[in-house]
């Protein structure tokens, strides 16, 4: 018998609840809904799922405009393109992939014009992987100096995607070390379908999971 995405979601929520108790902290699940239908998003929202992550602006715009509910918080988790920033600011409440001073300033400017404050995470390229976006770990302190005078972005935390072939345990541990150095941060966004347990063991309090719920895209 094939397991449905609803069943996988419910099982995952049970596992996360157990890990919350074991680690004595709340963990936010962001359901990665790229390439998924509006109907599936609404079904999970009806079960109480609030946070959804999208990678592609145009796809997200179509979904968001087609879902008439204020009970969803939308997270942008894809690569930022300069010509899409205005739409990102309009559609989303969170941006997880800030790694450019130019993009940071542009998000602040556009959000100012919208009288809005954007929640942001700085993306860290924890393994110095040429195939991934993000700033180097050692550049974090200099980078956040750009944020102090910006009134329409709120720095919430840091995010990373470790190399697929690396030991994520070490990468997550170094991210947690950075997170704990800065009391103003409240979000450590890391952990996906393949490695979320290790991420939680190393301090993650926000997960981004899609395949573990919807299965592999064909």
* pLDDT bucket at 186, cuts 50 / 70 / 90: very high
The one-character DSSP state at 137 is G
The CATH architecture of the domain made up of 5-214 is: Alpha-Beta Barrel (3.20)
DSSP helix, strand, coil percent of the chain (3-state; round to 5) = 45, 20, 40
Average of per-residue pLDDT values in the chain: 94
pLDDT digits (tens, 9 = 90+) for 37-81: 999 999 999 999 999 999 999 999 999 999 977 799 999 999 999
Say how far apart CA 28 and CA 47 lie, in whole Å: 15
pLDDT at res. 131: 85
pLDDT of residue 192 exceeding 70, the answer is: yes
Confidence check: pLDDT of 127 > 70: yes
CA dist 93 and 72 (Å) reads 10
Specify the long-range contacts of residues 39-46, CB closer than 8 Å, at least 24 apart: 40/5, 40/214, 41/67, 41/72, 42/67, 42/69, 43/6, 44/5, 44/6, 44/9, 44/213, 45/69, 45/71, 45/72
pLDDT at 165 over 70: no
When comparing pLDDT for 54 and 194, which is higher? 54
Tell me the whole-structure pTM to 2 decimals.
Answer: 0.95
Q: Which pLDDT band, with edges at 50, 70 and 90, does 166 fall under?
A: low
Say which residue the tokens 């809005």 belong to. 116
- pLDDT exceeds cutoff 80 at 107: yes
Question: Taking the chain, what is the end-to-end CA distance rounded to the nearest angstrom?
Answer: 19
Average pLDDT over residues 155-180: 90
């Amino acid at each position: 018998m094939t397991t449905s995405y609803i069943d996988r979601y419910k099982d995952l929520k049970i596992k996360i609840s157990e890990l919350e108790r074991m680690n004595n902290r709340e963990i936010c699940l962001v359901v990665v809904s790229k390439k998924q239908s509006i109907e599936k998003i609404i079904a999970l929202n009806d079960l109480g799922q609030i946070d959804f992550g999208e990678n592609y602006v145009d796809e997200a715009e179509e979904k968001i405009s087609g879902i008439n509910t204020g009970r969803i918080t939308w997270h942008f988790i894809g690569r930022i393109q300069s010509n899409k920033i205005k739409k990102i600011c309009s559609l989303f409440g969170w941006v997880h992939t800030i790694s450019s001073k130019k993009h940071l300033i542009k998000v602040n400017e556009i959000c100012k014009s919208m009288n809005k404050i954007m929640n942001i995470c700085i993306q860290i390229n924890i393994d110095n992987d040429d195939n991934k976006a993000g700033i180097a770990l050692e550049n974090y302190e200099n980078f956040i100096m750009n944020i102090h005078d910006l009134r329409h972005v709120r720095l919430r935390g840091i995010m990373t995607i470790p190399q697929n072939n690396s030991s994520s345990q070490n990468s997550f541990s170094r991210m947690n070390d950075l997170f704990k150095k800065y009391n103003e941060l409240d979000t450590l966004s890391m952990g996906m379908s393949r490695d979320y347990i290790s991420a939680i063991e190393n301090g993650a309090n926000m997960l981004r999971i899609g395949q573990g719920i919807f299965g592999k895209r064909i």
